[in-house]
A and B are shown apart, each in its own frame.
Chain A
Amino acid sequence: MGSEFVPLSLPPLLIGAFAAVACALPGNFLLLRRQALIGDAISHVALPGIVVAFLITGAISTWPMMIGAAGAAVISVVLIEVIRRLGRIEPGAAMGVVFTAMFAGGVLLLEQTDTSSVHLDVEHALYGNLESLIWLDATGWGSLLDWDALRHLPPELPRIAVTLLGVVLFLWLFWRPLAISTFDEGFARTLGLRTTALGLALVVVAAIAAVAAFDAVGSIIVIAMFICPPAAARMMTNRLGVQVAWSVAFALLSAVLGYVLAGYGPLWIGMYDAVSAAGMIATVSGVILALTAVFGPCRHRAGAPAGV
């Protein structure tokens, strides 16, 4: 069992779970601040960033591409703000203009350049390739203690783990100011908190998480994990800390269950090929959200548990 599970399933499972949690954590605050669609925008604009990085460096290498994607994310956030202010347009529409235009530019660049020699296409950016992140050097559970084998882990795994750590650290350090400024921005300002800088920092952290996750698992998971687990957690409780805990649990559940269903589900119903793990994880998170929307104790707007 271990000899097959560790090399083929453990790394994608871990990467999926880490990516899900790294996106769900900042997603909690974005959801409460009515900025839930930032994740959607970021994951769209990552494409032109990656393509431009590829054009400049001429190779598929991770760091330039991550920098390109992060740069594009920051540019898009600035552009949205500029268009919103200059044109006096509502934020949703400004966002729609920026991310669609940038995504279109990315697709056009991609079609215009010769990427036949490398693995870079739109579908890949959307779906990710979670299933292909395998660890060929592992022979069994013992490999987890074997330094030589560990060095050949898929590089996405340590990267997403570090990102997750960074996100957790950010939330842990700024928990109180973030909570205060999320619920009552005016009060936070009277306390002397720099709410604008804090809001921007949150968006930047979300962008970093999105780009790291995007690199490993594609943009569907990113968008789904920014919104679905926090939204489902919001139906379960009125307390922020509890909500974050629920969202982490839901994100983990979606990642694990989604991966297992995608890999083994088709076999159970008599089909031979696995389906997209990224899509399945998003689907499972949606099912969880649907269940909590129907049965969650705090699903109603007033905030009181049903029946009280």
Chain B
Amino acid sequence: MLAQALLLQLGYNATLVTIGAALLGAAAGITGTFLFLRKRALVADAVSHATLPGVAMAFLIMVALGGEGRSLIGLLLGSAVSAMVGLWCMNALTRHTRLAEDAAIGAVLSVFFGFGVVLMTVIQSLGVGRQAGLEGFLLGSTAGMLFADAVTIALGGLAVLAVIAVMRRPMLLVSFDPEYAAAQGVNVPRVDMAMMALVMAVTVVGLKIVGLILIVALLIIPAVTARFWSERAGQVVILSGAFGGVAAYLGAAVSATAPNLPTGPIIVLFSAALFLLSLLLAPGRGVLAAILRHRRFQARVHMRQGLLALAQGQEIFEPLTRRLLRRAGLMRADGVATDDGRAQAAKALRDEARWAMLRRDQAQEAASAQYDGLRGIETVLTADQIAALDARIGAPKEAI
């Protein structure tokens, strides 16, 4: 069953939904990256919650006009309108009042959602809400999705991707460095607005699959995940799209295999799993890499200090230092240096003396600034310079 779902063998509609989800996930991941780099990730949360009154209002209007109120396009149009109003309110609050952006986000989110809930209860009292499946917009539901709905979603995801392909240069520039973008003649407010329009489009298209409470996860988590793997903005965008697409594809496929697996939460949990893996395993910024880096650094410090202690004939008590020296074959179990150890210890002590001499020389300020107690002096000076230093220090003393 699962293999069938992953290979798109579960019937025409399920296949279409899975492909649509993957397109949506990719579009959301890419859009979210711009938002994340712009440090406005949670704006998406306000936009998505602000869609609820629009959905309810569109339903009421369609019913009032004598329709059934089920047309997905009509509901999505309504959600887009109210998301736009919410966005406008948020901008007005941050621009014209003293409120910070986070307060504006929270205010818009809660008030619009609250008003949406009021409208939902009105619909319930009309007695036709259940049939329309409006509840599905909260958490998303792909069960019983019509063919036309699936096509709408797939096309919507594709359209967002196309717009991003056209707009990617200015959006990347603005999200990465708005001041530089402005200096380059990019109209930053307009690009910001385009970015928000894309967020809105992703939210609206994703309402049916993921639901308005969790759609923000599709915008944030892949972007944060991708950030672990690369320091280049262009690569982060592409990776984020890939992570979002994969999570949405897997989530939609898995949720099609059993009745109790709601699509939205499954997709979100798949992206959270990808995030967790990246947090732990990513090279460079991952936790494991950081621990390894720390251990390597610790070993270098202990080794160096151990060698210096050997050279000066001091006994070493620190267990980690002893272990490292013995493993490298520089010290015997009784704490006496091997021949190899004596040679390296003498070199370490000599290097210290060279550094000390170098740092006394004001003409060599740039080189001596690199001293951190670990760096080998031959990485800073040429062989000739070291020889000149040695000449000033004098001949090596008899080994102790």
Bound-state Cα–Cα, A127 to B115, Å: 11
Q: Which residue of B lies closest to A127 (CB)?
A: B117
Number of interface residues of A (CB under 8 A): 68
Q: Find out whether the CB atom of B96 lies under 8 angstroms from the CB atom of A283.
A: no
Residues on the B chain within 8 Å of A242, using CB: none
Chain A at the B interface: mostly helix, strand, loop or mixed?
helix
A103 touches B214 (CB 8 A): yes
- Chain A residues lying within 8 Å of B191, measured Cβ to Cβ, are none
Contacts of A188 in B (CB 8 A): none
CA distance A235 to B107 in the complex (A): 14
Query: Is A39 at the interface (CB under 8 A from chain B)?
Result: yes
Q: Is the CB of B110 within 8 A of A228?
A: yes
- Tell whether A126 is near chain B: CB-to-CB under 8 Å: yes
Q: In the bound complex, how far is the Cα of B96 from the Cα of A273, in angstroms?
A: 38
CA distance A37 to B39 in the complex (A): 15
Q: Is the CB of A37 within 8 A of B102?
A: yes
**Interface: B353 (CB within 8 A):** no
Q: Which of B153-180 contact A (CB under 8 A)?
A: none
Q: From B42, B96, B110, B135, name the one whose CB has the most chain A CB atoms within 10 angstroms.
A: B110
Interface bracket on B: 35 or more
A96-B45, A227-B103 as given contacts; A283 in contact with B111, CB under 8 Å:
yes
Cβ distance B190 to chain A, nearest Cβ, rounded Å: 23
Contacts A276-B117, A279-B118, A280-B118; A92 near B41 (Cβ below 8 A) = yes
Chain B residues closer than 8 Å to A93, beta-carbon distance:
36, 39, 41-42, 220, 223-224
**Cβ distance A95 to chain B, nearest Cβ, rounded Å:** 7
Given contacts A89-B224, A92-B102, A286-B107, 12 further A-B contacts (CB under 8 A): A36-B102, A40-B109, A44-B213, A92-B42, A103-B213, A104-B265, A104-B269, A111-B260, A220-B117, A227-B103, A231-B107, A299-B98
12 contacts between A and B (CB under 8 A): A87-B227, A89-B224, A96-B41, A100-B216, A107-B139, A122-B138, A220-B114, A227-B103, A228-B111, A234-B98, A293-B92, A299-B98
Residues on A lying within 8 angstroms of B by beta carbon are 31, 34-37, 39-40, 44, 83, 86-90, 92-97, 100-101, 103-105, 107-108, 111-112, 122-123, 126-127, 220-221, 223-224, 226-228, 231, 234-235, 262, 266, 271-276, 278-283, 285-286, 289-290, 293, 296, 298-301, 303
Ranked nearest first, the 9 interchain pairs of A and B with the lowest CB-CB distance are: A282-B114, A286-B111, A279-B117, A100-B217, A273-B125, A224-B110, A104-B268, A101-B272, A104-B265
